[in-house]
Amino acid sequence: MQKLQSHYRWFKTIHRLRISAILVALFLAFTNATLFLLTQTPQNVDAQTVPVLVETIEVSQQTEVVQVVATSPATVQVTTPQPVPDPTPVPAPTPAPAFDKVSIASIGLSSQFVAVGLTNTNAVDVHPSLVGWWNGSAQPGNPGAIFLDGHNPGVFSTLPSVKEGAQINLTKASGEIFNYTVVYTEIIQLAGGSMNTALTPYGGASEGLNLMTCIGTYSTKTGTTDQRLIVYAVRS
């Protein structure tokens, strides 16, 4: 009986030792796992700046800027500004045509003059409302005679009253002014008259200005008057 009790006590002692060993092993395993997890926890790291991407896209000759701003690795904001339309172009104003001008202050004459040619009957193609400068005659500032023609009644209505010594001014579209002095007037008959003197500077002058208009009696047969008034001036 004593022997049986001795074996029983020995068995209980071995069993307690096994349980203690198991508990110690579990405690050590838990402790090692806890230490491992603690060593793997990331440290505080300074946040790094995320770069900003700017992309330029050409669309229909206009530049559209697409800006992508990343505030954090998980947040991205996209903004697309609307293109500003070009202003409506304003056409440049058409400049007014520039004309040359003839003035005779003593008779109140002031008119623009334009270049004219000849008709199919070899007559000067007089402008209906302006003085005509025949483009086959001299130009202001050049040797020879400038020939101006105008209607009467019309732009040259007062020309028959001009006197010798009257001043005539020609103003070019550029602003340059040429001065002339009336030295002679004459009346010629249309029938059989010659234009040679009207196209020649008076008295052998280097630069002349000759003006002509209709006077006399109107003829329904010819459709014009029977005389012409020619005013001769030289550069002064």
pLDDT value at position 27?
72
Each residue of 25-48: b (16+ CB within 10 Å) or e? Answer: eeeeeeeeeeeeeeeeeeeeeeee
Residues 57 and 107 both lie in one domain: no
Residues 228 and 115 both lie in one domain: yes
Confidence class for position 37, pLDDT limits 50, 70, 90: low
Residues 116 and 61 both lie in one domain: no
The domain of 199 spans 100-235
State whether residue 68 is helix, strand or coil: strand
Residues 58 and 127 both lie in one domain: no
Residues 154 and 126 both lie in one domain: yes
Q: Which residues contact residue 143 at a Cβ distance below 8 angstroms, ignoring those fewer than 6 apart?
A: 206, 207
Residues 111 and 72 both lie in one domain: no
Residues 191 and 125 both lie in one domain: yes
Q: Which residues are registered as beta bridge partners of 199?
A: none
Both tokens of 99, joined, read 């004309």
Each residue of 186-219: b (16+ CB within 10 Å) or e? Answer: eebeeeeeebeebbbbbeebebbbbbbbbeeeee
* Torsion from C-alpha of 212, 213, 214, 215, nearest 10 degrees: -90
pLDDT value at position 4?
52
Top pLDDT among 223 and 53 is at: 223
Give the mean pLDDT of the chain: 78
pLDDT value at position 41?
47
Task: Check if the beta carbon of residue 70 is closer than 8 Å to that of residue 76.
Answer: yes
Specify the CATH number for the domain of residue 164. Answer: 2.40.260.10
Q: Is residue 126 part of a domain?
A: yes
Both tokens of 85, joined, read 């339309």
Q: pTM, whole model, 2 decimals?
A: 0.60
Residue 127 CA to residue 114 CA, distance in Å, equals 8
Residues 126 and 55 both lie in one domain: no
Query: How many structural domains are present in the chain?
Result: 2
pLDDT above 80: residue 28: no
pLDDT value at position 57?
34
For residue range 152-190, list pLDDT tens digits in order: 999 999 999 999 999 999 999 999 999 999 999 999 998
Residue 230 CA to residue 184 CA, distance in Å, equals 9
Top pLDDT among 50 and 202 is at: 202
pLDDT value at position 176?
94
